[in-house]
Amino acid sequence: MQVAHLSAANEARRARRAVILATELDTGIGQVIHEGEIIDGELQAEAEKAFRSGKSATIEISGRKLFLNVLVPPPRIAVIGAVHISQALAAMAPVAGFDLRIIDPRTAFATPERFEGVDLTADWPEDVLKERPLDAYTALVAVTHDPKIDDFPIAAALKTGCFYVGALGSRKTHAKRVDRLRELGVTDEQIGRIDAPIGLDIGAQSPAEIAVAVLGGIIQAFRRRELRG
């Protein structure tokens, strides 16, 4: 591996950007491919497949064997609201390979006793996200039902380009939310990315079932995400 390629990979890791180190096995010649980059030839499709799967592999193109070393930032979930759904999601997310944190200014809900071992912050999202901002490899899940708490992080997630943005609430509730988000400068195209009502449509009823539906929606969005530079 060339020093320049290693430096590019380290820089991408620090910035939470995805790259592939593609090396031709016979010659050792390599190149760095950034997620969303347009490249020539058959390698484009193979690179996109690798970015979405996150798995390194050896491929063959036009008689050449290449090893694709895929470096994708660990996906994260930021949950706004320390509710029963959040408790279930906090238990499930690590099993599926997602880091998870919960933000809720309501200290009666955001207690260590209810969320033992969970990355929990009892503060307003707008303050927390200044110190720990969202990025394209983060899913935002808003479940407080309180516009004063949910609206800002939803708007921030849409403007940042989080790969998933989901919000709890009925269609009527969401229609009102849309009006408020427009006032915050969110475009209709961005608003159209919100998963609301939240989660896959599996007929979920209990908090645990809703958490399953939400996690399923997050996994689906991550594996089918739009690739961008």
The CA distance from 144 to 125, in Å, is 12
Region class of 218: left (phi > 0), else alpha (psi between -120 and 50), else beta? alpha
**Cβ-based burial of 146 (10 A; exposed 0-12, middle 13-18, buried ≥19):** middle
pLDDT of residue 10: 87
Q: Give tens-digit pLDDT for 200-223.
A: 999 999 999 999 999 999 999 999
Label residue 134 by pLDDT band (50, 70, 90). very high
Residue 103 near residue 156 (C-beta atoms within 8 A): no
- Where would I find the beta strands (DSSP E) of the chain? 19-24, 30-34, 57-61, 64-71, 76-80, 99-103, 119-121, 138-142, 164-167, 194-195
Distance of CA 157 to the CA centre of its chain: 10
Which residue has better confidence, 8 or 105?
Answer: 105
Residue 207 near residue 85 (C-beta atoms within 8 A): yes
pLDDT of residue 36: 87
Residue 40 has pLDDT above 80, yes or no: no
Q: Give tens-digit pLDDT for 67-119.
A: 999 999 999 999 999 999 999 999 999 999 999 999 999 999 999 999 999 99
Residue 174 has pLDDT above 60, yes or no: yes
Label residue 228 by pLDDT band (50, 70, 90). low
pLDDT of residue 168: 94
Residue 157 near residue 125 (C-beta atoms within 8 A): no
Say if strands 76-80 and 119-121 run parallel, antiparallel, or are unpaired. unpaired
* Half-sphere exposure (Cβ direction) of 94: Cα atoms closer than 13 Å: 8
pLDDT of residue 93: 98
**CATH 3.40.50.720 boundaries in the chain:** 76-223
Long-range contact set of residues 13-16: C-beta below 8 Å, sequence gap at least 24: 13/71, 13/73, 16/73, 16/135, 16/136, 16/137
- How many other C-beta atoms lie within 10 A of the C-beta of residue 82? 27
Residue 163 has pLDDT above 90, yes or no: yes
Sign of the CA dihedral 47, 52, 56, 57?
A: negative
Residue position matching structure tokens 């608003």? 191
Q: Does domain 76-223 have CATH number 3.40.640.10?
A: no
Indicate the average pLDDT of the chain: 94
The whole-number average pLDDT for the span 61-66 is: 90
Q: Residue 151 has which token pair?
A: 């609206």
Residue 162 has pLDDT above 90, yes or no: yes
